[in-house]
Structure 1
Amino acid sequence: NNNIQYFYNLVFKWAPKSSLQNYTRTSRSFRIGFSQSVQSQVIFRWWKISLRSEYRSTKPGETKETHEDFLEKSHLQVQIALIFGSRILDYVFNLCEGKFDFLERLSDSLLLNIISYLDLEDIARLSQTSRRFAKLCMSDELWEQIVRSSCDHITPDMRALAQDMGWRQMYFTNKLQLQRHLRKRKQRQGSQRSSQL
């Protein structure tokens, strides 16, 4: 029925009043749900919302399971997989087993700073671990940090060239090619100025 809508929200708490993770998911039909893990429980709550009067007295639903029961039973696992996807389900499994990925929780700016100290081979391997790390490892912000740390001085021409070609491409361009690119860029700018006069 298109008039009935649901809202689901997934929250994990490991101690009362301290939230570890919060997820909200809505689909085409607006869905409300709530799941949390308090000490050794996974609690999943959902709300049915409808503008129709016959559904206004509908109360929220709730399912509680211990971590061990959650790992063994498939009903709640199926609900979480359908609503939040397999990635979140895997994450919930890891939380219930006491496995935390603290790196995934760090901000992008902090991760970029850390990644900039890695060897090139390690950056290549890290980029293959997840979409987020692939995006970070290919980002201009990371390669700008790497170029800045490997060069003594970055001229305005080098910065402008990096804006044109990208910091990553600039890093992998050898010095002779870089000088040729800078020369061509200056010639192009000179010819554009003379054509404007």
Structure 2
Amino acid sequence: MASWLPVTLFEIVGQGQAPSKDYYQLLVTRSQVIFRWWKISLRSEYRTAKPGEAKETHVDFLENSQLQIQIALVFGTRILDYVFNLCEGKFDFLERLSDQLLLNIISYLDLEDIARLSQTSRRFAKLCVSDQLWEQIVQSACDTITPDMRALAEDIGWKRMFFTNKLQLQRQLRKRKQKHENQTQKNQA
């Protein structure tokens, strides 16, 4: 299963805590953890400082507490925990799926489950409110979608359209149709 993984499992860049302007990069590959830093300073003693790099195998990284502390200071403990999981072979394959595939899967969930899923991560929150998802849900719930319904959904959003009752939808469709007819008559005059 690990062969399905890309060469680079994780990469993040960042700047040191103020007033530092130092630049950092953390790269986790299938076999190594690479931590790079660049000193950026106006002080004369640091102007000639060359960029630094620490490379460790996954096993060595898990035992290198100094490198772990540096990473935690720059990127935080959440990132350090994530890197630990990668080094221990605990991969989150769900996070690696494409948005389109995840949207397809989510469209089969119950509404309550979609609401719960949206609370699990920023990525899922974004996917669970996306028009692409709600368009799929509306299409599976409706027998046919007329061009007027599609135009209205593009104006108000597919999610709002899904939760609007039928009477309100019919009223909005009539208003939209009348507005379109009035504009057509004005253009012809």
TM range (shorter): 0.7 to 0.9
What does residue 63 of structure 2 align with? 69
Cα pair 2:37 2:51 within 8 Å, conserved: no
Kindly tell me: are residues 53 and 160 of structure 1, through their superposed partners in 2, closer, same or farther at Cα, counting changes over 3 Å? same
Over aligned residue pairs, what C-alpha RMSD do you find?
3.2
d(CA) in 2 for partners of 1:38, 1:120: 38
* TM-score, normalised via structure 2 length: 0.75
- Structure-to-structure mapping, 1:1-197, within 5 angstroms: 18-26=7-15, 29=21, 31-36=23-28, 39=31, 42-48=33-39, 55-56=47-48, 58=50, 60-62=52-54, 64=56, 66-70=60-64, 73=65, 75-196=66-187, 197=189
The Cα of 1:37 is off from its aligned counterpart by 5.7
Secondary structure of the structure 2 residue equivalent to 1:44: strand
Secondary structure of the structure 1 residue equivalent to 2:91: coil
d(CA) in 2 for partners of 1:179, 1:124: 27
Number of corresponding residues: 179
The Cα of 1:61 is off from its aligned counterpart by 4.0
**Identical columns (%):** 61
Cα pair 2:15 2:21 within 8 Å, conserved: yes
Of 90-99 and 170-179, more deviation after overlay is shown by 90-99
The Cα of 1:124 is off from its aligned counterpart by 0.7
d(CA) in 1 for partners of 2:21, 2:49: 19
Kindly tell me: are residues 26 and 54 of structure 1, through their superposed partners in 2, closer, same or farther at Cα, counting changes over 3 Å? closer
d(CA) in 2 for partners of 1:26, 1:96: 24
Kindly tell me: are residues 131 and 35 of structure 1, through their superposed partners in 2, closer, same or farther at Cα, counting changes over 3 Å? closer
Cα pair 1:47 1:60 within 8 Å, conserved: yes
d(CA) in 1 for partners of 2:46, 2:127: 50
The Cα of 1:114 is off from its aligned counterpart by 1.4
Task: Provide Cα deviations, 1:150-188, integer angstroms capped at 9, x if missing partner.
Answer: 222211100110011100011112222211211121122
Secondary structure of the structure 2 residue equivalent to 1:144: helix
